[in-house]
Amino acid sequence: MMTRKITALLLITLMIFFVAWDLAASEPVNPFQAPPLLALGSGLAANGAHCAALPFR
């Protein structure tokens, strides 16, 4: 009998490969250019992407 162990492990494996592929294919990450720990109090404008945001044209 197949159990959820197979499907859960399949997903975790796929996600690990996806993140690894993405890290290799994307621009290198630079922790020294990362934003401050908290947005609140940083003085910087929020620049993340959200599903509610309509892009400007």
Partner 1 sequence: MTQEVDTAPARSAHVAQRAALIGAALVLSLAVATFVGARYGLLLLIGLGFGIVLEGLRFGFAGPWRAMIVRREPGGVFAHLLAIGLVAVVAIPLIAFHGTELVGARAPVGFAMVGGAFVFGACMQIVMGCGSGTLVNAGSGNPVSLLALPFFAIGSFAGAFHLLWWTDLGILPVIAFEGMQGTVVTLLALAAVAGLLYFMGKPGSRSMPRRYVVAAVLLAALALANLVVAGQPWGVVYGLGLWGAKGAAAIGMDLSSSGFWSTTGNIERVQSSLLTDVTSLTNLGIIAGAFGVAVWRGGLSTTLPQLPARAWVATVIAGFLLGYSSRLAFGCNVGAFFSGISTGSLHGWAWFAAAFTGAYYGIRLRPVLGLEARR
**Residue ranges binding partner 1 (CB under 8 A):** 1-8, 10-12, 15, 18-19, 22-23, 25-27, 29, 31, 34-57
| Least distance from partner 1 to the Cβ atom of residue 57, Å | 6
* CA dist., res. 55 & res. 47, Å (int): 12
Q: What is the CA radius of gyration of the chain?
A: 18
| Least distance from partner 1 to the Cβ atom of residue 17, Å | 13
| Least distance from partner 1 to the Cβ atom of residue 11, Å | 5
* CA dist., res. 1 & res. 30, Å (int): 46
